[in-house]
Structure 1
């Protein structure tokens, strides 16, 4: 069996989540129907909403189920922007972290192209942490012009935990709402929506062991958000569409497990991560660990490196052939490798950023998985470096010709 080290992309479905999903799927029923089957589905859905709300630190009425993190981010960013601008046409500035996931970044850029938004990209330090001071400075310039601030809770590539509390406190001084994409953080570090002061917060099920296709947006009860899609208005008028009771039940089961064992699981993963980091650096002294120097400021399950002189995709391909599945953590469109915008924002050059590799651990990860990586990573790096930075297709072909299982 291959060793799976890409849990930050998606983690296997947990037994409890799978059981909840299959049980509810077998029962069926539309939660909006008035007959017995529909009402059974409604009870399952609302039970799931209560469980998920408790794990998020939210009131059940604040939990809006979505199809995943991307939909939740779109609803929050567009909805807050439209509501704030409609209330005061001067509010067109969006303060956005420069290390956001594309679910937020692309949404903000769409608002800039089509809705008159003026985007301020917030700088980060060399460890990938967004500058709270920059947020304060931008707010002070013209607070009446700011529609919203959006900063992720923890970065999906590097694992850097962001200074959410400082940013929310700065924005609250001017009454500006803050959205946070907490997709990568929820279930891995403590997340408390009520205590955070956020207006909205996005989470996703498949990052913690639920099936792909279910997520949620926590929306503070006094937050005004314009709907993105229209139909039956099933959830507070903010999100229309038939609700997925089975997906919600699975998400709740995964969330209850993840949050219930969070302290001990975070410690377990941090030990594995630190072992992985030490082993990679010992095998490849040229490698550079990304993120803050303090491991407490990084997610416990993510170890991100840059490997000089090699193409990240070549390294990924070679590791995959050797039985280890990882990620470059960067976008690839139409077969053309592009350096990560996160790494560029941190000050890395394009060549440095192209040598990226992310290893991410999850609930099913073991010490044997780490050992399997360490047994082959040095050899994979040497072969990838020989392939060089000659371009995606040629480097993959060269790497493939030099290695066979």
Structure 2
């Protein structure tokens, strides 16, 4: 059972069917004038309209990219370079995706000043902290809509209003929220918004950046002037066609899928917390994505838990797929104020609409068995108990572990 849909999703049959002709028969370059090129251009325009419709934007405000990471880079660097003569201060949070965080580290290395707002135990910033951080030099606020590790949703609409009042450009990474909850660029008050295809049952290697009309960015890729001169390079027509179809389907099924995902997620949370001692949910319990839950289990190693679950047929993760090969503690979870040792015992479950085909009770039992097995080998768990395994020195008679 695949339960890592925040890492990537399966391309749907409808999306693949729509893409297929553009690999073979309809292979024209959309920048050419003859008929086969015009057909590709027509397909490109339809996809652009579908993406725009899905987020309440205009087609001319959509720039196709290679994915969420490029969209984030184009938004942040492109805006920072364009507005360098107005200021050099950028505001973000401590829990951004590496595509944002590493881009900001680069900008710091060439003279930009970045403020990293703290999040609190619930994984959400305080708007007052944002307001206090704004200076006369602030040119950009970039704060993700929904976190890819813990699923918390930031108050983007409120942040956008503040940015607009202060005439500061505002970018949000909506890669994880799009297709899961409503993403309306007008309601969110954003100037730039990043999207990715492969998170919504579309193909990998394609995404989009919404750039509000009147917002100007410096191009990062120069060449043939495609995508209104903002992102040169021959467009990935099959991928864009698939992305457009995936957007159409995501919008059409949003409400139905939301209710289904909420139901599975909440059942999973309830049963894990009731079944496994010293299990916790990371992040806010209310303001969170409908398809994602991040658990923390005391005294185990998350990587080992992933391998045990995989051996039982369940694919999940400890956090972001972009950093799954790194052994250091997740900066997102440590930003919540958690002990770095406990951070390593995390498990991210991210659902898709088709996840209703799996048995939650059976899955919870597999998690419980795996956690118990790892705790038997864990010195961190065993040191909590007295030698007779009955009295917990740390918590006394009331300890659930005993």
The normalised TM-score by structure 2 is: 0.91
1: CA distance, partners of 2:124 / 2:117: 10
> By how many angstroms is 1:384 displaced?
2.1
**Cα pair distance change 1:270/1:39, threshold 3 Å:** same
**Cα pair distance change 1:314/1:228, threshold 3 Å:** same
**Cα pair 1:21 1:249 within 8 Å, conserved:** yes
Range with bigger deviation, 304-313 or 371-380: 371-380
**Cα pair distance change 1:333/1:299, threshold 3 Å:** closer
What's 1:325 paired with? 315
1:16 aligns with 2:6: no
What's 2:63 paired with? 64
What's 1:107 paired with? 103
What's 1:255 paired with? 247
SS of 1:203's equivalent in the other structure is strand
2: CA distance, partners of 1:92 / 1:326: 40
1: CA distance, partners of 2:289 / 2:323: 27
Deviations 1:172-210 (A, max 9, x none): 121100100000000100001133221100000000000
1: CA distance, partners of 2:323 / 2:93: 22
Alignment coverage as a number of residue pairs: 379
1:97 aligns with 2:89: no
What's 2:131 paired with? 136
SS of 1:304's equivalent in the other structure is strand
Deviations 1:328-360 (A, max 9, x none): 005787965111111111111101111111001
Report 1:2-401 matches (<5 A). Answer: 3-26=1-24, 27-85=26-84, 87-88=85-86, 91-113=87-109, 115-139=110-134, 142=135, 144-294=136-286, 297-330=287-320, 336-388=326-378
2: CA distance, partners of 1:204 / 1:244: 14
SS of 2:309's equivalent in the other structure is helix
**Cα pair distance change 1:331/1:337, threshold 3 Å:** farther
**Cα pair distance change 1:330/1:63, threshold 3 Å:** closer
The normalised TM-score by structure 1 is: 0.91
1: CA distance, partners of 2:237 / 2:75: 22
RMSD, aligned CA: 1.6
**Which of the two has higher C-alpha Rg?**
2
**Cα pair distance change 1:271/1:262, threshold 3 Å:** same
**Cα pair distance change 1:327/1:337, threshold 3 Å:** same
**Cα pair distance change 1:389/1:67, threshold 3 Å:** farther
**Cα pair distance change 1:334/1:62, threshold 3 Å:** closer
> By how many angstroms is 1:367 displaced?
4.6
2: CA distance, partners of 1:336 / 1:227: 32
1: CA distance, partners of 2:216 / 2:59: 17
Structure 2: gaps spanning 5 or more residues? 381-402
> By how many angstroms is 1:220 displaced?
0.6
> By how many angstroms is 1:369 displaced?
4.7
SS of 2:183's equivalent in the other structure is coil
